[in-house]
Copies of this chain bind each other. A is one copy, B any other.
């Protein structure tokens, strides 16, 4: 079987087929270069054009102003969990606020505590991370070096539809699992980061958008690779960048711009896709039970449970037979997780919806 399935994996995740087709076509040799993207220098003219186009596409899609730098780094969000406190804490502001709305926020907070006295501005752990706070629920420190939140929690399937209000404190966002799924008011953020392997590209590159005034906080004695200011000064080419991953980001962002029509269109398509599944859940008479509180539901990861573990396993197995893969929920939450990022075609979601309806018919 080399036919393509509908891949509901939480990340690395499905990519747009035209992107894969283009990458495949040029894999032996880029046109007019005579060598593969896998073989060319990060300092070659051909690669400079690629990284510049990737950045220009991102600036275009998100209307990123000039006073923000765009970085292409390695190490995933996990390395950002460390880099953020290492770069943004200062002797005058040694503490930051963390809003913990799921597993990833908890990981970020745990790592940050190595570098200073962090404060939990809110923690949804008591409710199994089914819901998000109102601004009034946040315990904010106005002297915090920054305020960190996770815009979409992949495991629990909760997502902020808008940014929390944090006053003058720089807002730092782990947008790993919903980056580029909608337009963003960039100027509300101090720093946004996202590993690419959900909506922006393959594993191996992490995008960081940072307000340039914050770069002054990076101290010279940081490990050189982890220094945002040094990375910005080098244009992400301090050392060999992950050239192939950046090339795919260029192709994905071009697809968003030219085939989808930008992030407003993408957002509309994402809302329609998610609605198809949540409607089935809401009309299932509790056969399917959504994990997240309805107003906090994610457009990216639809997390729900079936009445029994046996039915859950049957659901996953029968879906797999029908070419719908990677639907098992995360072990910490159980049930089903359908990840329906930007590149999941509406037809894939329709196929899942139809299967859910039939499965309930036969098994309830």
List A residues at the B interface (Cβ < 8 Å).
1-5, 7, 9-15, 17, 20-21, 23-24, 26-36, 38-42, 44, 74-79, 81-83, 86, 111, 114, 195, 197, 202-205, 221, 223-226, 238-245, 248, 323, 325-326
Contact = CB atoms under 8 A, between A and B. Distances in A.
A115 B23 CA distance: 42
B326 A12 contact: no
B3 A40 contact: no
Nearest to A198: B240
B34 A240 contact: no
B40 A9 contact: yes
Given A9-B40, A28-B24, A204 B76 contact: no
Given A12-B40, A12-B240, A76-B74, A325 B34 contact: yes
Count identical subunits in the complex.
2
A323 B20 contact: no
A222 to B, nearest CB: 8
B203 A42 contact: yes
22 contacts: A4-B28, A7-B34, A7-B35, A9-B40, A12-B38, A12-B243, A14-B35, A20-B38, A21-B28, A23-B38, A24-B28, A27-B27, A34-B325, A38-B248, A41-B326, A74-B74, A76-B240, A78-B224, A203-B242, A204-B205, A204-B242, A204-B243
